[in-house]
């Protein structure tokens, strides 16, 4: 689109034209963002597909031993085998129950401890330092001790997941509350809000992003702890399928079980993102802009 605009009077030189043409046509650069996004999405899908095709070709040509690394089609067939025998349908609910129960208990414990330490300095002085020391210990190293304490039943498995889930929620809740601007709390005092009202109207909304981040990390950590917990003399769950496949050297079923764990991680992360979107719609709108 071309527009004709008259030059301002008294500013143009005698040799300058009285009429100035301006081109308002959109430049080619305006279409670049959309093309770049399309290209990025294409790369994200094409690269994994090419890797799977190359993997299948290498495996099909016999360059990789099926015992070492079976092809994708072989792994897909193993899923059909697990589904037809009913092993997968029986194992999934058990593993999810372990991870969910451990995450719930550990997350609520971390939430309570984080809120108390964030609001009251006395609570922080009492248990923050011990929790920080315990946080540095890998939860996998605690497996033998948990077996001694809780035995080889469900208690030790759930307890390990609980212990791994406490710290992400505690740390993010604590820092979320301590990161609130103190001037906002002074405003609450100015309006003569009670402590309960100040916590409900100011502390909780402002600390909620950090709290949700803590729950999201705790969910991922719970799945990692689930993998370790289901190696403790388990007789059910995805870990039992992996242990049985290991005894019979069924690498395809082992990889299928590992991919189930990975799929659970993706699903849990998506659920946590949706929960964050529902609880913090203002944040999603702001990020979208």
Mean pLDDT to the nearest integer, 239-249: 90
Say what the pLDDT of residue 97 is.
94
pLDDT in tens, 193-216: 787 888 888 888 889 999 999 999
Give residue 37's pLDDT: 55
Checking if the pLDDT of 289 tops 80, the result is no
Q: Per residue in 176-214, is it b (16+ CB within 10 Å) or e — as a string?
A: bbeebeeeebeebeeeebeeeebbeebbeeebbbbbbbb
4 — pLDDT class (breaks 50, 70, 90): very low
Confidence band of 5 (pLDDT split at 50, 70, 90)? very low
Q: Are 60 and 71 in contact (CB under 8 A)?
A: yes
Residue 22, beta-bridge partner list: 3
pTM of structure: 0.76
> With 60 as the cut, is the pLDDT of residue 16 above it?
no
Residue with more model confidence, 208 or 20: 208
- Return the pLDDT at 11: 45
How far CA 101 is from CA of 94, 157, 183, in Å, comes to: 11, 10, 39
Q: Is the pLDDT of residue 237 over 80?
A: yes
Alpha-carbon span 12 to 177, nearest angstrom: 62
129, 186 in Cβ contact below 8 A?
Answer: no
Q: Is the pLDDT of residue 117 over 50?
A: yes
User: What confidence score (pLDDT) does residue 19 get?
Assistant: 45
Task: Specify which of 78-82, 169-173, 232-236 reaches the highest per-range mean pLDDT.
Answer: 169-173
In this prediction, residue 192 carries a pLDDT of: 76
* Per-residue model confidence (pLDDT) at position 42: 64
pLDDT at 38: 64
What is the chain's mean pLDDT, rounded?
Answer: 82
| Residue 10 zone, left/alpha/beta (φ > 0; ψ -120 to 50; rest) | left
Q: Tell me what percent of the residues of the chain surpass a pLDDT of 70.
A: 82
Q: Range with the lowest mean pLDDT among 80-84, 126-130, 137-141, 214-218? A: 137-141
Asked if pLDDT for residue 12 goes beyond 50, the answer is: no
Q: Which domains does the chain have, with CATH numbers?
A: 2-60 (no CATH), 72-288 (1.10.3720.10)
Tokens at residue 14, please? 């005698």
């Amino acid at each position: 689109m071309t527009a004709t605009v008259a030059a301002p009077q008294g500013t143009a030189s005698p040799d300058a034209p009285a009429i100035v043409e301006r081109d308002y046509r959109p430049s080619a650069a305006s279409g670049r963002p959309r093309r770049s996004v399309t290209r990025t999405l294409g790369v994200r899908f094409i690269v994994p597909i090419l890797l799977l095709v190359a993997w299948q070709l290498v495996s099909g040509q016999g360059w990789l031993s099926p015992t070492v690394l079976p092809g994708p089609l072989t792994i897909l067939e193993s899923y059909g085998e697990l589904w037809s025998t009913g092993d997968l349908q029986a194992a999934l609910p058990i593993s999810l129950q372990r991870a969910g129960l451990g995450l719930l208990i550990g997350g609520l414990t971390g939430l309570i401890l984080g809120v108390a330490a964030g609001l009251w300095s006395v609570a922080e002085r009492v248990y923050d330092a011990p929790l920080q020391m315990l946080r540095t210990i890998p939860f996998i190293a605690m497996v033998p001790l948990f077996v001694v304490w809780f035995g080889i039943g469900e208690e030790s498995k759930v307890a390990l997941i609980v212990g791994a889930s406490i710290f992400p929620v505690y740390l993010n809740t604590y820092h979320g509350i301590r990161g609130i601007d103190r001037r906002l709390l002074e405003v609450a005092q100015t309006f003569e809000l009670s402590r309960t009202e100040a916590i409900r109207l100011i502390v909780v909304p402002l600390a909620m992003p950090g709290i949700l981040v803590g729950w999201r990390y705790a969910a991922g950590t719970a799945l990692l702890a689930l993998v370790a917990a289901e190696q403790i003399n388990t007789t059910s769950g995805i870990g039992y399928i992996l242990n049985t496949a290991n005894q019979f050297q069924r690498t395809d079923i082992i990889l299928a079980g590992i991919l189930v764990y990975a799929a659970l991680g993706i699903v849990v992360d998506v659920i946590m993102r949706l929960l964050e979107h529902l609880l913090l719609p203002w944040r999603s709108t702001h990020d979208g802009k």
